[in-house]
Structure 1
Amino acid sequence: MPVQLTPIDRAKYAAARRAVDLVEDGMKVGLGTGSTAAWMVRALAERVRDEGLRLTCVPTSVRTGDLGRELGLKIVSLEEAGWLDLTIDGTDEFDADLTLIKGGGGAHLMEKIVATASDRMVVITDASKEVKTLGHFPLPVEVIPFGWQASRMLIEELLNAMDVMGTSARLRMNGERPFVTDQGNHILDLALGRIGNPRQLSLALNQVPGVVENGLFIDICDAVVIGYGDGRVEMRDIASGTVEHERIVFEEPDNIFKDL
């Protein structure tokens, strides 16, 4: 039965297909987490099957690692791989400077470590994630379980001195229990509305006792690939200042998405 994709899913797939064209034989590649990154993992596995690419892949979450293994990718830890050539990941928001908010899937700690251990980070997304000013999407902050309430109070107090619109920090839940990251931590989602100075906020948050890492990615992303539902893709490289436009030709859904 053909799989009927929404325009957003087609946009994500188009961006993923373009991004995996950047992968070359012999590379060590970081694999992001989330719905858009899942399209990328599938597209990358398709290239490995069809072209015989020899890749070493480092996942940013348990679920991405499980998907990669299921699709036949060589999955190793970052410790085993060492330095990476390229990381491809999604984002929850991005601005003109390619500053990101990540962590909607609860994996921003591993995502940030893997991205910064790479020569290059490329973000894949659809056009709806682009914003003039970050902050509409809640900013995730990973905290250790011990004393998380105290960490939350300190964060909310800190936010009063920051250039933001909101100051509430809510514990992320998974049903009736707190959400637990792959590292065994909790996440506080900050409803900020607007982040006027992401760099200042990131530095301040990471000074709060109990905070492990926040979801602001600053000076980490090198390029963004934006997909559209009709197959168009736009690739912006912040280092070179170039913008490229292409169109991805979709195969028959029965062939591309038969394993979904």
Structure 2
Amino acid sequence: METLKKQVGIKAAEFVTSGMIVGLGTGSTAAFFVEELGRRVAEEGLDIIGVTTSNETSKQARRLGIPLKSIDEVDEVDLTVDGADEIDAELNGIKGGGAALLMEKIVATYSKDYIWIVDERKLSDHLGTFKVPVEVIPYGSQHVFRQFEKAGYAPTWRFVSTDSKEKLLTDMNHYLIDLHIKEIQSPEKLAAELDLMVGVVEHGLFNQMVKKVIVAGHDGIRIIEK
């Protein structure tokens, strides 16, 4: 599977050309994309500016010699490439398994083009196999948690580790609540509901944001386009 992830990372890097401002995604698959860009910067003289979606990706990019700016230092991002945790038939997706959903969505929103790179296990007919992460401010977060319980969303806190009771803090110093909804009939309706909840900063539903998904499978690489 690591080989497949590397293949889609390298393929996605082909869409990057000199002069671009590039959004660098977070996670195990996106890391291969960043690695390939670093190679091209060092070996081919690729001239780009990277905008990262997490502290982890920032560290990797700096180590590889990719010049960086923050999202507030650029007018827009030409192309962002990132992974996804689950994608449905309409190319709606769930992200945030790596706890970087807020920065990922901000960078994606201000990108002219947006590509997901995944292995074929991430494709589903309907969203819901993967949990829906919700980033919340710590103050009042227990009340938000109770609202999710009342709605039947089976919420759980995201902890530092599976054997820890210390709540995970995101790069933006927020908590994460994961919603375990077996089948999401309307991602748009759920997203609208979460958008209106006081205390919710952002959620991991990325609806109608991508037009291209590069998928690695045992039969090779294919591109799904909206």
Q: Match for residue 4 of structure 1?
A: none
Structure 1, gaps ≥5 residues long: 1-7, 161-166, 239-260
The share of aligned pairs that are identical, in percent, is 40
| Aligned with residue 23 of structure 1, among 8, 16, 22 | 16
Cα displacement (A) at 1:229: 4.6
Q: Match for residue 144 of structure 1?
A: 137
Amino acid at match of 2:156: R
Quick check: which has more Rg, 1 or 2? Answer: 1
Indicate conservation of the 8 Å contact 1:143/1:211, yes or no. Answer: yes
Cα displacement (A) at 1:46: 1.2
Cα displacement (A) at 1:228: 2.6
| Aligned with residue 97 of structure 1, among 71, 78, 90 | 90
Distance in 2 of aligned mates of 1:196 and 1:156: 19
Does residue 1:9 correspond to 2:2, yes or no? yes
**Mapping of 1:66-77 within 5 angstroms?**
66-77=59-70
Distance in 1 of aligned mates of 2:216 and 2:39: 19
Q: Match for residue 72 of structure 2?
A: 79
Cα displacement (A) at 1:82: 2.3
Indicate conservation of the 8 Å contact 1:14/1:228, yes or no. Answer: no
Amino acid at match of 2:225: D
Distance in 1 of aligned mates of 2:25 and 2:127: 21
Structure 2, gaps ≥5 residues long: none
Cα displacement (A) at 1:170: 0.6
- Any idea what the Cα deviations from partners look like across 1:183-209, whole Å, max 9, x if unmatched? 100000001011000000001012111
Q: Match for residue 48 of structure 1?
A: 41
Could you tell which deviates more after superposition, 192-201 or 219-228?
219-228
Q: Match for residue 220 of structure 1?
A: 209
Does residue 1:38 correspond to 2:31, yes or no? yes
Indicate conservation of the 8 Å contact 1:10/1:228, yes or no. Answer: no
Distance in 1 of aligned mates of 2:17 and 2:75: 17
Distance in 1 of aligned mates of 2:180 and 2:97: 13
TM-score (norm 2): 0.96
Indicate conservation of the 8 Å contact 1:103/1:140, yes or no. Answer: yes
**Mapping of 1:122-141 within 5 angstroms?**
122-141=115-134
Count of residues in Structure 1 that have an aligned counterpart in Structure 2: 223
Distance in 1 of aligned mates of 2:75 and 2:54: 17
**Mapping of 1:177-196 within 5 angstroms?**
177-196=166-185
- Any idea what the Cα deviations from partners look like across 1:147-206, whole Å, max 9, x if unmatched? 11101112233x35xxxxxx2111100033100000100000001011000000001012
Q: Match for residue 172 of structure 1?
A: 158
Amino acid at match of 1:235: I
CA RMSD across the alignment: 1.1
Q: Match for residue 190 of structure 2?
A: 201
Q: Match for residue 233 of structure 1?
A: 221
Runs ≥4 residues deviating over 6 A:
none
Indicate conservation of the 8 Å contact 1:9/1:229, yes or no. Answer: no
Cα displacement (A) at 1:138: 0.6
Indicate conservation of the 8 Å contact 1:152/1:169, yes or no. Answer: yes
